[in-house]
Structure 1
Amino acid sequence: MAALPKDDQSWSSDGLARPEAISQWREWAESTIAPIEVEVFDPAGFAARWVAHGLGQLRLLHLHAPAQRVTRNAAEGSAGRATPSIHLIYPRSGALKSAMGGRRFDLRPGQVAMLENTWYYQFDVATPHECIVVMMPQTWLEKHLPDPLALLSQPIDVSAGWGAPLGALLETIADGLDRAPLPRPLIAEQLGSLLALATGFHEPAETTRHRGQLARRILRRIEGDYTDPDLSPERVAADCGISKRYLQTLLAGSGTSFVQELNAMRLDRASDLLIDPRARSLSVADIAYRTGFLDPGYFTRLFRKRFGMTPSQWRGGHTHTFEEQV
């Protein structure tokens, strides 16, 4: 195998004992991508590898990953060792069940999505999968997208239309970066331009930027204080120096509402607690209170509507999984 360029690195679990390989995989992900928790679903069949490429100011990761859950819990502290940046996620195989910014969606091959690596997010992938992650400094990306944070958590089709050139470039990079006819910083600039083309995002007005910043401030407040049962749009609006009506208008412009985001955040955390072995001694009512719900009955109704089953059924359905992992 030819030596990698000096800005490139690679790793494989081949030849390593599984416990050591899993430990190295987790340590690398936590130190390179963000301070994240990685839960491998099938430790006995673990196999993985990665290649990291320098791309001008960008860093591109090409991952062959196992079935796993990846969680970045921003509510637990600061960015940690990770440098704040925007990550472009492109699955080549395997669907990523995603939770970012209070939203849940499936990210499939032929789509990309962006995340901010200091915010909460979670990916569940039920099968071994292949994925490309492009790590982009926000200041660099703003040369191409005036307000990139407004596009977080939104799947973007790169298999057709104006997104297709971006998809084609990502595929070409994945399979042939070592044979690139241009210097890598120029390829990075092409990627930025094609991302702008794929999103069609071209609103440079200062008012648009300000609205986006306010909306994100509100969403981050929900992420940080969702356990507070008294958290309300009136209180958050007052803290932001705006009216409740304007707060609602800002979130409506992003296709959501305060109550929708708050309930989604609380239900996401509750669903995680219900299947956390460390919380098995907690009753459903305790979990409801811990995630900001004052009425366990209301919590149960919302949970059933969101997940199609009661909290107790959700917990019971994961019992065997826990016992196998212990």
Structure 2
Amino acid sequence: MLRTIESGSRSYEELKAWGDCINRTLVNLDFFAESPEFSGSYHYMIAEDCVAARLFGTAHCTARSQRRLREVDNDFVLLIYLRTGQAMVSHRRYAGAVPEGSFIAFDSSRPHELIMRERFDHLVLRMPKARFVSLHPAISSMLDRPVSGPAAEMQAAAGILDMIVSLGGAMPSTVSTMSETVVKLLGDWLVKDGEGEVGRAVRHDLLAGRIMKCLEDNFTDPDYSPTRLAGAMGISRRYVDSIFAEMKSTFGKAMLEKRLERCHLLLSAPQFRDRSVTDIAFESGFNDLSHFSKRFRERYGISPRAVRKSAA
């Protein structure tokens, strides 16, 4: 357990000043160090909605605690490249060592802890989470696990991130484009590394996304079945069932939820009041009106006709 160095000492003041600068420009964190000889330096630049930084320092711990989450409601990603120094990380579903040369992505809306027990040199990119996850279909998997390896994509991403910091705030539009390139390169590597543990997880996540998209496109078809879905995906029916089980659901439950959501939306909208309840139910994939009414009441605690009446 790391303990804060003695208040009033030179190292304490340096840690505090270092932490205050990071809190102002990157994210609100708590800082701890057990060595009486802490030292660190911090260089950063801001371009549009991104911040790029390079951090040097000695052993310490940073934590995004529940208290910090309550202080500031942030919703962005901190992408960190460990140029030198290995780390211990606790974040979302991952807890363990992260070797030198790895990338880590922290979700600022979740608690996390990063422990450095040796000198380190880090590159950091802060980007709004919505923008981060939109840049590549595989990149959100980085929020659950660090990635490392000698792949060309990772080396290129690290090199571009280094160049971004070196620009020192010049050409903000170019820096914004370069930041997106870093994220896309990492996403490409995640897909390419299909045989590794991370790659297998990414392929699984992408397949789950494709399954949900297929459901979205076909839920109004009353005859659509898990067998047809499996055939469209090129996988077995058992694999389809296992993916829904991981999402704490089933094919039938997912289809029912989408159909009920569509019915509730149309019944609540005044512009559709000329459409009968029966027509809306059947057009949404139901083929039994009594079954629809029963499930609708179970889901929303009110009958379909009562929803229609309140929207009139």
TM bin (shorter chain): 0.5 to 0.7
Contact 1:41–1:69 (CA<8 Å) still a contact in 2?
no
Structure 1 residue 137 displacement after superposition: 0.5
Determine the C-alpha separation between the residues in 2 that align with 1:124 and 1:86: 18
Instruction: Classify the secondary structure of the residue corresponding to 2:56.
Output: strand
1:36 counterpart letter in structure 2 = L
| Structure 1: gaps (5+ residues) | 1-15, 211-244, 252-326
Structure 1 residue 17 displacement after superposition: 4.0
Determine the C-alpha separation between the residues in 2 that align with 1:23 and 1:209: 52
1:63 counterpart letter in structure 2 = L
Q: Give deviations 1:32-51, integer Å, cap 9, x for gaps.
A: 33332211121x31211101
Structure 1 residue 184 displacement after superposition: 1.7
- Describe the shift of the 1:60–1:206 C-alpha distance in structure 2 as closer, same or farther (beyond 3 A): farther
Determine the C-alpha separation between the residues in 2 that align with 1:149 and 1:194: 13
1:28 counterpart letter in structure 2 = C
1:57 counterpart letter in structure 2 = D
The structure having more radius of gyration, on CA atoms, is: 2
**1:184 and 2:175 are equivalent in the alignment:** yes
Aligned to 1:249: 246
**1:207 and 2:212 are equivalent in the alignment:** yes
Instruction: Classify the secondary structure of the residue corresponding to 2:122.
Output: strand
Determine the C-alpha separation between the residues in 1 that align with 2:186 and 2:53: 17
Determine the C-alpha separation between the residues in 2 that align with 1:38 and 1:209: 46
Aligned to 1:60: 52
Contact 1:84–1:116 (CA<8 Å) still a contact in 2?
yes
Contact 1:34–1:79 (CA<8 Å) still a contact in 2?
no
**1:45 and 2:37 are equivalent in the alignment:** yes
| Structure 2: gaps (5+ residues) | 1-8, 192-201, 216-241, 249-312
Contact 2:125–2:161 (CA<8 Å) still a contact in 1?
no
Determine the C-alpha separation between the residues in 2 that align with 1:209 and 1:89: 35
Aligned to 1:18: 11
Q: Give deviations 1:129-163, integer Å, cap 9, x for gaps.
A: 11111111012213312464433131212532443
Instruction: Classify the secondary structure of the residue corresponding to 1:156.
Output: coil
2:148 counterpart letter in structure 1 = D
Aligned to 1:277: none
2:167 counterpart letter in structure 1 = L
Structure 1 length-normalised TM: 0.52
The answer to which of 110-119 and 19-28 deviates more is: 19-28
Q: How many residues are treated as equivalent by the alignment?
A: 199
Determine the C-alpha separation between the residues in 1 that align with 2:10 and 2:49: 35
Determine the C-alpha separation between the residues in 2 that align with 1:247 and 1:27: 45
Aligned to 2:90: 99
Fraction of identical pairs, as percent: 14
Determine the C-alpha separation between the residues in 2 that align with 1:209 and 1:86: 29
